[in-house]
Structure 1
Amino acid sequence: MTETIIPAKKLSVFKLFQQAVRGDITDFTTGSINKAIFLLAVPMILEMVLESLFAIVDIYFVNQVGTAAVSTVILTEASLTILYSVAWGLAMGVTAMVARRAGEKNFAAAGDIAAQAILLATFFSIIISITGFIFPKEILGFMGASKDVVKENFLFTQIMLTGNIVIMLLFVNNGIFRGIGNANLAMKSLLIANAINIILDPLLIKGIGPFPELGLHGAAVATTIGRACGVVYQLYFLFNGKALVKLVKKQFTISITIMKQILDTSLGGMFQFIIGSCSWIFLAKLIAGFGTAVTAGYGTAIRICIFTILPAWGLANAAATLVGQNLGAGQPERAEKSVWRTAFMALCFFALVALIFFFFGATLMRFFTADKVAIESGTLCLHILAIGYIFFAYGMIITQSFNGAGDTKTPTYINLFVFWLIQIPIAYLFVKYLKFGQEGVYMAICIAESILAAVSIIIFKRGKWKSIKV
């Protein structure tokens, strides 16, 4: 009997992967930078892959319902981008502040920040829930849905918006975990949420066994239940001392001082995503003008892009944590070096994805839909966006590194300039005046993201982010 011999280098990588998933190491202010990036990035990449699975799984099963259902999901998701903006902004601010306290080894203060962030998230979600419960038809109609689609499918929009607290808390709690270096817990919470969503989606949409046949609305119920279970898992670890930050009841007394600090740090992040979200809403309305099938194709292609972009967001979040912890430990040069190395890794990843889009874009689209127009529209979108993918890498990593340093204003100004003064006018010009059709929207996205990367690099090299206090 022969014994399989595993090379030492491969064994070492495997052991590092196990360490990353287990979350054995949470202090990334010493030792090898490459190792720190690997240990942080693995669970964060897996976390982002799992987050994107919500979109992929839902669109797969909803496509089986019909193009009108897909259009409803896409337009609802576009309206939810405001919610995601608030959630991401809070999460970014919390990550930056908690990471800085973690670098200082002040975990009690990190717990205070975490509790107040949860209170803020709950407050924002209540406002969105009330709006979504009362005005789902108006919101779906505003996004460009036809009267028939609004009449038949508004309940999907109502469920998603009313139950938004699970989205808000899932993001914010994971921001806490990332800041303290417990990225593995963020990953596991999404693993639980996705597993439940994947199981419930077909059961509730198709009415398998004892489950009711809810059609499109079943996707909303399945997603909400799955995310709720992920939140319960997060809170268990936060309240039972299973993470570096432990929450206790007395921390949930409102602290205006801490809330103001969180908002000061987070507002920039919120506006970054609100700026980007408003741009995406505008683009979705432009695409809606080309018909339901084109909208479905565009939406499916964007979901595929999200599936590839979110893993890179894992790398970006790793860079943000490294920046925050190393600035907290008084090591700005180590923070900067971490960013450049992470950006290069993201560049290699995006180059590979771009090739896949070029050669297998149509195949990817056929996996999700059989509609010929939707396939052609989505394939065209993937081909054009692939051109700008190499630039996306540096733009994504560097802007998130600003956020990790607590400098959320700089990326806000960059986003405002790129998305509102470049992307929206170019898309409108290409579609309405130059008559480029849907290609005009895809070209505008590609141009804007490339400019964003160039501007971010220039500003990052100036180094003012190193002196930000949070």
Structure 2
Amino acid sequence: MLNNWKTILLLAIPSIASFASMTVTGMINLIMVGNLGAMAIAIVGVSNIVMYNAWAIFSGIGNTVNYLVAQNFGSNNMKQGIARTYIALLLSLMAGVIILFTGLFGSEGILNVLGSSPDMVSEGKNYLQIRFFAMIFSILSFALHGFFRGIGNTRTPMIASLIGNAFMIFFTYTLTYGNLGLPNLGLAGAGWALFIGEAVVFIISAFAFLKTLNAQFHLVAKPVLDFIESKLMLRESLKLGTQEFSKSMAMFVFTAFVTRLGTHALAANEIALSIMSFGFMPAGAFGSTATILVGQEIGREKSFQARKMGTETAIMGSIFLLVLGTVEFFFAESIAKIYTDDPLVFELTAKLIMISAFLQLFDGFFNFYGGGLRGIGDTTFLLRTSLVLAWGFFIPLTYVMVFILKLSSYGAWLALYTYLALFGITLLVRFYKKDWSKISLKQAAA
């Protein structure tokens, strides 16, 4: 058991550091932008939700290459794993074209659809457009990181993220306010800082990928596109992408509901989400670790060992979340004051944090057991569950809590964590109800 826990930690800690660097960078950027006022905070918050949806649509590409490469690595068939990675990169490039055109022609319309005020649309459309451009690099990097995590190399994504995020912080500081002799671009400067950081992450990841092919697998960087494998990658990517998109689009509607409660409520909501992303950090890291370990053991044809590794990963991740939740609960208001000195905002933010501090354990279940189910390729169940719970439960419940029962932001967050609790428990039950003796490698059908 101790050896298993050591293996889990060696994979999870770099992922936690990677996700933590992104979370801390987002927090620092929001604090820097916060000096521009509540309107700037609201624009960044709404843009974050929009970009989460844009990323979610195409996130299935990176998640698919992650679990398939993990299985290939376990079965010692990395030639197939690398071929699948090239297909993932091609799909990512195609996604990039769609994202580019959406950014160029759809930014203003998206803000209008969200119900933003005319001032928010006027000030935010250029910032959102730049964020779309940055997303192109993010999708490509995520596909490469899926490859690295699949082979058990979580250090390379960590290093790329740390360096890229350092660039983001530096240029947010300099370009937003014109420090160190650089132009004073205001909110647009914060957008360009994110663009530069994402580009740096991709360049480092691409270089490491090409180097890994030669140094570790002794293969030449020669793309081979197999039609049957491409169909598998596309099908799995669509399922996992739609699953993530249904969840993120539900958050999009959730934010639209909160937006109608006013600027202070929206600002508090976005700051609370930024703070609670510290809980998403270990949850996502251990979820990714579960995918790696379960997928590799399935590749080795050790299905019951795969189940055991998934369980132990969930146990360790839960411990992390309980410790983190304790800190968030008792220091909620102090943490909120880091972001803003507006009493109307930080008092509401603190209460939202306290509501979710321990309930985030269920979001952990969603990530841990969702990661394990991805590792065995149970993607159809993940898709169906996501669609049913997001649109048949979460959105109607949020509407009732906010607009019918008039519970304002508190009702919105109670609805959010009720949904996450149900989702997490559903995936937990599925994980242990599976017949693990019948689980095998995911292969393309002829």
TM score, norm. by length of structure 2: 0.94
Matches within 5 A, 1:64-463: 64-241=35-212, 244=216, 248=220, 250-251=222-223, 254-463=225-434
**Higher mean displacement: 158-167 or 276-285:** 158-167
Residue 155 of structure 1: how far off its partner (Å): 0.5
Separation in structure 1 between the aligned mates of residue 386 and residue 22 of structure 2, nearest angstrom: 23
* 4+ runs deviating over 3 angstroms: 241-250
Find out whether 1:45 has 2:16 as its counterpart.
yes
| 8 Å CA contact retained: 1:103, 1:326 | yes
| 8 Å CA contact retained: 1:81, 1:277 | yes
Q: Which residue of 2 aligns with 1:12?
A: none
Q: Which residue of 2 aligns with 1:14?
A: none
Separation in structure 2 between the aligned mates of residue 293 and residue 67 of structure 1, nearest angstrom: 7
Separation in structure 2 between the aligned mates of residue 119 and residue 412 of structure 1, nearest angstrom: 23
Separation in structure 2 between the aligned mates of residue 62 and residue 258 of structure 1, nearest angstrom: 45
Separation in structure 1 between the aligned mates of residue 157 and residue 140 of structure 2, nearest angstrom: 12
Per-residue Cα deviation, 1:446-470 (whole angstroms, up to 9, x for no partner):
1111111221122111224662541
Q: Which residue of 2 aligns with 1:21?
A: none
Separation in structure 2 between the aligned mates of residue 226 and residue 246 of structure 1, nearest angstrom: 31
Give unmatched runs, 5+ long, in structure 2.
none
Separation in structure 1 between the aligned mates of residue 306 and residue 328 of structure 2, nearest angstrom: 33
Shift of the 243–149 alpha-carbon distance from structure 1 to 2, 3 Å rule, reads farther
Separation in structure 2 between the aligned mates of residue 244 and residue 282 of structure 1, nearest angstrom: 45
**Higher mean displacement: 306-315 or 192-201:** 306-315
Residue 387 of structure 1: how far off its partner (Å): 4.0
Shift of the 166–243 alpha-carbon distance from structure 1 to 2, 3 Å rule, reads farther
Separation in structure 2 between the aligned mates of residue 464 and residue 135 of structure 1, nearest angstrom: 46
Find out whether 1:467 has 2:439 as its counterpart.
yes
| 8 Å CA contact retained: 1:102, 1:328 | yes
Separation in structure 1 between the aligned mates of residue 54 and residue 14 of structure 2, nearest angstrom: 24
Residue 206 of structure 1: how far off its partner (Å): 0.8
Shift of the 80–464 alpha-carbon distance from structure 1 to 2, 3 Å rule, reads farther
Separation in structure 2 between the aligned mates of residue 394 and residue 285 of structure 1, nearest angstrom: 26
Separation in structure 2 between the aligned mates of residue 412 and residue 163 of structure 1, nearest angstrom: 27
Separation in structure 1 between the aligned mates of residue 379 and residue 196 of structure 2, nearest angstrom: 32
Separation in structure 1 between the aligned mates of residue 282 and residue 333 of structure 2, nearest angstrom: 22
Separation in structure 2 between the aligned mates of residue 435 and residue 295 of structure 1, nearest angstrom: 16
| 8 Å CA contact retained: 1:163, 1:224 | yes
Give unmatched runs, 5+ long, in structure 1.
1-29
Separation in structure 2 between the aligned mates of residue 289 and residue 434 of structure 1, nearest angstrom: 15
Per-residue Cα deviation, 1:78-115 (whole angstroms, up to 9, x for no partner):
11122221343111110111011101111222111111
Residue 392 of structure 1: how far off its partner (Å): 2.5
| 8 Å CA contact retained: 1:92, 1:404 | no
| 8 Å CA contact retained: 2:134, 2:199 | no
Amino acid at match of 2:222: K
Per-residue Cα deviation, 1:329-349 (whole angstroms, up to 9, x for no partner):
011111111111111111111
TM score, norm. by length of structure 1: 0.90
Question: Which of 62, 73, 93 pairs up with 2:33?
Answer: 62
3-state SS of paired residue (2:309): helix
Residue 258 of structure 1: how far off its partner (Å): 2.3
Residue 246 of structure 1: how far off its partner (Å): 7.1
